[in-house]
Chains A and B, each alone.
Chain A
Amino acid sequence: MIPFLFYMAAAIALVSTVLALTRSNAAHALIYLIISLLAVAVVFFLLGAPFAAALEIVIYAGAIMVLFVFVIMMLNLGEEGDQRERGWLEPGVWIVPAILAAALMIETVAVISMTEGMTSGEMVSAKAVGIKLFGPYVLAVEIASMLLLAGLVGAYHVGRRLSERRRGGIS
């Protein structure tokens, strides 16, 4: 049952990612990307990491994809956006990133085949993650809060300057 579910989720992730890449309408591509992230969450859960699966849904499929969908829909590029996206699907645009990604994939397959058992097969509960996070890695948590603080203030100032520039430089 579990291997079957794993391969099904992995296949859904692969298919939806390919579809996300090849759509010319950005909103449609995002919906496939959300499905891909949900499938990856299922893979995480089946590998025994329910907390990572929950994060994948809450942060990626929830918050970040909402942000993306929000921006894409508000930008409302319409038909000209589709035209431009179709232009980006030419081989000249994606061939170099594809070669680099293929090289990385070969490297990953080589690494996985050299080492035995990348996953321990043990279930890591959310509680265990919390104990580790606020135990040995508590400094990383505090650094993360600083990073989030910088992100908040930085996002506000970048956005504010843009909005004021458009209004004609009111300061």
Chain B
Amino acid sequence: MSNPESAELLPFIVYFCAVVLLVATMLILSWLLGQRRQNKSTNMPFESGVLSVGSSQIRLSVEFYLIAIFFVIFDLETVFIFAWAIAFFELGWYGFFAILVFILVLTVALIYEWRSGALDWGVKTRTGIGES
């Protein structure tokens, strides 16, 4: 197998066209079916009939960003598992124990996060090793 031939690019081209078609369909349908009235309150956010006041520039809790960072790290873990899984039969038991150690180390991290309340949202109710 040398450079990817045009035949191998064909699934990509089909996939790309399908994506463009899907997005275009969604946009056109919502444009056709959506309302086009322009009152002075059309673009006002609906908040259960209550008029909203103040600016939307509020400070949000850092916990939301923490969840995103955890997502990135566990996403990286998935990449290693993926690399192992596609070479599963070639790697055999050796690769199995290698990935087992890898997953165990990250399970320790997950248990630590869980027990110390890093995965809790809002008010912290759990008391664990991370607190004190």
Binding site for B on A (CB under 8 A): 1-2, 5, 45-46, 48, 50-51, 55, 58-59, 62-64, 66-67, 70-71, 74, 76-78, 121-123, 125-131, 133-135, 138, 141-142, 144-146, 148-149, 151-153, 155-157, 159-160, 162-163, 166, 171
Given contacts A2-B3, A156-B66, contact A58 B79 (CB under 8 A): yes
Residues of B contacting A50 in the complex (Cβ-Cβ under 8 angstroms): 4
Residues of B contacting A70 in the complex (Cβ-Cβ under 8 angstroms): 64-65, 68
Tell me, yes or no, whether B102 is within 8 Å of chain A by CB.
yes
5 tightest Cβ-Cβ pairs between the two chains A and B = A130-B87, A145-B105, A130-B83, A63-B75, A134-B95
Q: Among the listed A59, A122, A131, which residue makes an inter-chain contact with B75, where contact means beta carbons less than 8 Å apart?
A: A59
Tell me, yes or no, whether B109 is within 8 Å of chain A by CB.
yes
A145–B56 Cα distance when bound, in Å, is 40
Tell me whether B1 and A142 are in contact (CB under 8 A): no
A66–B79 Cα distance when bound, in Å, is 17
In the complex formed, the residue of B with least CB distance to A1 is B6
Tell me whether B80 and A144 are in contact (CB under 8 A): yes
In the complex formed, the residue of A with least CB distance to B95 is A134
A50–B84 Cα distance when bound, in Å, is 16
Tell me whether A121 and B83 are in contact (CB under 8 A): no
Tell me whether A163 and B68 are in contact (CB under 8 A): no
Q: Among the listed A121, A126, A145, which residue makes an inter-chain contact with B3, where contact means beta carbons less than 8 Å apart?
A: A121
A166–B70 Cα distance when bound, in Å, is 21
Tell me whether B3 and A127 are in contact (CB under 8 A): no
Tell me whether A71 and B68 are in contact (CB under 8 A): yes
| Chain B, range 77-123, C-beta contacts under 8 Å to A | 77-80, 82-87, 90-91, 94-95, 98-99, 101-102, 105-106, 108-110, 112-113, 116, 118
Can you give 16 contacting A-B residue pairs, CB < 8 Å?
Answer: A58-B79, A59-B72, A63-B72, A64-B72, A74-B65, A76-B58, A121-B3, A125-B1, A126-B86, A134-B84, A142-B102, A144-B102, A145-B80, A149-B108, A156-B130, A160-B66
